[in-house]
Amino acid sequence: MSSSPPSAARPPRLSKPAQQKTPAPVLQNPFRSRRLWITLGLLLLINIFVTNVLFAPAQPTTVTLPYDVFKQQVAAGNVISVTTTGDAITGVTKTPVKESPTSTVSATHFSTQRPSFADDSLEPLLEQHGVTINAKPENPPPPLWLTLLLSFGPTLLIVVAVLYFIRRAASAGGAGGLLGAFGQSRARLYDPERPGTTFADVAGIDEVRQELEELVDFLREPQKYERLGGMVPKGVLLIGPPGTGKTLLARAVAGEAKVPFFSQSASEFVEAIVGVGASRVRDLFTKARQAAPAIIFLDELDAVGRSRSSGFRIGGNDEQEQTLNQILTEMDGFEPGKGVIVLAATNRADVLDQALLRPGRFDRRVTLQPPDRRGRAAILKIHTAKVPLGPDVDLDAIAGATPGLVGADLRNLANEAALGAARKGESAVTSADFFEAIDRILLGTERHLMLTPSDRERVAYHESGHALLGLLIPGADPVRKVTIIPHGGALGVTVQSPVDDRFNYGEDYVRARIVGALGGRAAEQLVYNTLTTGAASDLQQVTMIAHEMVVRWGMSPKIGPLAFRENGSGDGLGLTRPYSEATAREVDTEVKRIADECFADAVRLLTEHREQLEALVQALLKEDSLGEEQILAVTGLKAAASDTNRSG
């Protein structure tokens, strides 16, 4: 694997740190209060008790009589009245009756059940003995007062409790009204007296660190710059790929500045209720002004800062635009934020609204790039400070084997190496542990698949084609390892990495990447004269590089020195293409021409060096994996490889 080629308003003066105000307390959301939910639960239990116990009518003692005993009591003239509800019969007798002769319980109220097979002689019998007959519907409606109580009682209790807690929050200093309870900022305030991260924890991005150190120095000694008319930037935008250290830098600023530091993700502003995001922005800047001088950090700014002029927008625009407008107003509106500096981070600066990027808002833009070899070594030194290292560990050599990795990747690498050493029961992390971790990260976890001998041989030819072309093509990255042990989603892997970090790529190097990627397909066709699905990822890489050569890097004589950028509006939706259908056909033709020429070169080189290809295949089938020195020894291309390294 080889790495792929890529007049402002005057800001307000800040008060001295010695004159800092005590930060306003961050109010808790009342809906997260345990006391609120306990109170609501108790109110509901009280409501159930009142309606079902206190207001329930008292029930007299009742005995259950067999139906034949009931008829006997009627015939004896002991029954005064009966009430029927369907086949259920209740009634009152003149003298107490018992359920059975042996029962000790007697009462004047009784109940019985009329059997479904009983005849219709009961009514004449009751009339004959002057028994009062009452009838009730089987499902009588409850009383109106009970219906109202059960329907609206719990709701009224909840509403009263919610309003009570909202009023308490408002009286304690929060925003009034229902929106105020939702519209409070969720920013986290870091204690300036107990920094968790400092600039000592940042490495590999020294030039970026220097720019932010200047910002911290201004907060500590504003008079040093103000006497010469210097003005602190109102906002600093950190731009860079994921994992390059944007949030780490912000935490380091918080630790070094010794001023209140409010941190919040931009996505936390937006809610389903329109207006909540703007309210939270106002609340955040209000708290920051009360604690000035202070720093606000907005992570993932593109969540609310996307361009409002995008040609195609998805729902929820009103809330997002209101939130963005409020941020713009707070940073540089009629009431500019005094003593408040805004730090923001994003990896999608191309989609941000231009109003955010103009001077007076984010005056300074700091771009973070993946670290070079020296930077990676410094980052590894920080992440291994508490890791016991073996005497054979060379962090500079490990940094050289990890081109393209960023700070987050290197932290993961150190952790994986430590975990691997712990699994083996070692007392220290060795160099072998680090390189095993590199393989695990770059190649994926090793899989134990039972390949048939024919499949294993085909994979060996495929990977040998990649590896051999990496040795033969001038300008190609050196081959570090080749294996036919399945890793991740691949049945085999060839690892290529440059000797030094590359920042500019010539056409010979780019074409070498394509030829090398096609080496597996070329070897299969040369040996078997058939095609398989094993080259799917290789072909994706070939298509991407060839397309970039034509539409972005101007490496096609037919298209010329032009750069066509799809998604030209920056909206990331792929709905625009800044060239005609005729040009699109020319682009497709040129992409295919480049791929065909590189495939022909791959087949030609493998044909000319068929003997080395067979030797490499046999060594792979025997050993499963070969390192760089073993590959050179097997192919006998040691001198050629040295030339390749120099030309790369």
Question: Measuring CA to CA, which residue among 266, 74, 31 is closest to residue 165?
Answer: 31
Backbone φ, ψ for residue 552 (5° rounding): -125, -40
Residue 217: its H or E element: helix 206-220
Buried b (16+ CB within 10 A) or exposed e, 516-542: bbbbbbbbbbbbeeeeeebbeebeebb
For residue 254, the one-letter residue type is A
**CA distances (Å), origin 576, targets 352, 570, 586:** 18, 10, 18
Strand, helix or coil for residue 111: strand
Residue 126: its H or E element: helix 122-128
Residue 92: its H or E element: strand 88-98
Chain centroid to Cα 261, Å, comes to 24
| DSSP letter, residue 291 | T
| Secondary structure string (H, E, C) spanning 617-643 | HHHHHHHCEEEHHHHHHHHCCHHHHHH
**CA distances (Å), origin 12, targets 20, 79, 251, 272, 293:** 16, 97, 24, 35, 11
Handedness of CA 378, 384, 388, 390 (dihedral sign): negative
Strand blocks (E) in 114-228? 132-135, 188-190
Buried b (16+ CB within 10 A) or exposed e, 250-265: bbbbbbbbbbbbbbbb
Contact 413, 402 (CB under 8 A): yes
Q: And the tokens for 456?
A: 């294993």
| Cis-peptide into 370, omega within 30 deg | no
Q: Which distant-in-sequence residues (6+ apart) come within 8 Å of 337 by Cβ?
A: 12, 234, 285, 288, 289, 330, 331
Contact 643, 474 (CB under 8 A): yes
In terms of Cβ atoms closer than 10 Å to its own Cβ (0-12, 13-18, 19+), residue 376 is: buried
DSSP H helices in 234-344:
246-257, 276-290, 317-332
481-482-488-491 Cα dihedral, nearest 10 degrees: 180
CA dist., res. 575 & res. 234, Å (int): 35
Q: Would you please indicate which residues are annotated as catalytic (active-site) residues?
A: 463
Q: And the tokens for 328?
A: 């713009």
| β-strands 79-85, 88-98 pairing | antiparallel
DSSP H helices in 427-558:
431-443, 453-472, 507-517, 519-528, 536-551
CA dist., res. 514 & res. 534, Å (int): 16
CA dist., res. 168 & res. 160, Å (int): 12
CA dist., res. 181 & res. 444, Å (int): 48
Question: Measuring CA to CA, which residue among 414, 417, 371, 377 is closest to residue 396?
Answer: 377
Q: CA gyration radius for the chain? A: 40
